[in-house]
Amino acid sequence: MVVQPDQTLGYWLARAARHAATAYADALRACCARQGKPYAITPPQYNVLALLWESDGLTAGAIGERRHLDPPTITSVVTRLENIGLVERVHGRNDRRVVHVHLTEDGRRMTPLLSDALVAFMERLERDIPMQAMESARTALRQIVTSLSGDEDGEDDHRPLHPLASATVGDESTPNRGVGAAARPAPR
């Protein structure tokens, strides 16, 4: 007997991830369009903006570590955000080799709007699923991550996944761990 793919959990996880990633990217793209922006923010870019909202001025290395992105990927994401005017790089005063990434005024204006789009996306994603089932799904997914990564807290082993194993919609093929329980960033 040959196991059919649609009889496996991996098949349904991959299929759900593809649909969720597409809808997530569409929500961010639509938010940018509503604001009349000529760009579309990708999920990895939003993940960086949301982190900078909470901890502005991190180095690219710190951003990569916290968002589980490898150095070339974080450089690409930050460069794209800088090119569209949402972040700026500032060299350290004492050591010019150290570069800090800061939200610009437009970055501070767009991040809460993008967060609202993410909250609306999450509400749409979860609207037909009972809360208890969503909590069970989150628990099961954490257990899967723990089983596959060997990390006891279920977060990750802090190594970027292979890009093909975790591709998301958008310019960057990076793991997207920002789709969890969304909340609007608190005003600073």
187 CA to centre of own chain: 20
Q: For the structural domain made of 15-165, what CATH number should be given?
A: 1.10.10.10
Both tokens of residue 153? 């807290």
| Domain layout of the chain by residue ranges | 15-165
Q: How many CA atoms lie within 13 A of 89 on its CB side?
A: 19
Q: Where in the chain does DSSP place strands (E)? A: 58-59, 87-91, 99-103
Radius of gyration of the chain (CA): 18
What span, in angstroms and rounded, lies between the C-alpha atoms of 120 and 124?
Answer: 6
Are 73 and 174 spatial neighbours (Cβ–Cβ below 8 Å)?
yes
With cut-offs at 50, 70 and 90, classify the pLDDT of residue 150. Answer: confident
pLDDT in tens, 7-53: 999 999 999 999 999 999 999 999 999 999 999 999 999 999 999 99
What span, in angstroms and rounded, lies between the C-alpha atoms of 54 and 42?
Answer: 19
* Helical residues (DSSP H) of 35-153, grouped into ranges: 43-54, 60-67, 71-83, 105-126, 131-149
pLDDT in tens, 118-149: 999 999 988 999 999 999 999 999 999 899 88
